[in-house]
Amino acid sequence: MTYSIKIPNGIMTFVESKAECPHCERHIPFDEIEEKWVKQEKHYMRMKCKCKRFIGITCMMNGDFVAYSLK
Ligand SMILES: [Zn+2]
């Protein structure tokens, strides 16, 4: 499944996020990541899952987001 978002110059298409919380195994929807992702400039970020634990998110070369547990 792909996702399309509108950007000022057109439409950007992403594949569905494959990120899964390493703590509660919840699948993290793309839009939940994307809205935080656009605000940061690094290649990884920290976000809080609905289970109230912090997880790391990074983006793979193919555009997939993946989640990992923070140490
Ligand atoms: Zn979780």
Ligand 1: centre distance to CA 28 (Å)? 9
Q: Which residues surround ligand 1, an ion (CB under 5 A)?
A: 21, 23-24, 26, 49, 51
Contacts with 30 (C-beta within 8 Å, 6 or more apart), sequence order = 3, 14, 16, 17, 65
The angle at the Cα of 51, spanning 45 to 52, to the nearest 5 degrees, equals 60
In this structure, how many other beta carbons lie within 10 angstroms of the beta carbon of residue 48? 10
What CA–CA distance (Å, rounded) separates 38 from 11?
A: 15
Comparison of pLDDT for 5 and 67, the residue scoring more: 67
Give pTM, 2 decimals.
0.70
Q: Cα 51 from chain centroid?
A: 16
Which amino acid type is present at position 10?
A: G
pLDDT for 1-30, tens place per residue?
566 778 888 877 766 677 999 999 999 988
Mean pLDDT of 39-65: 89
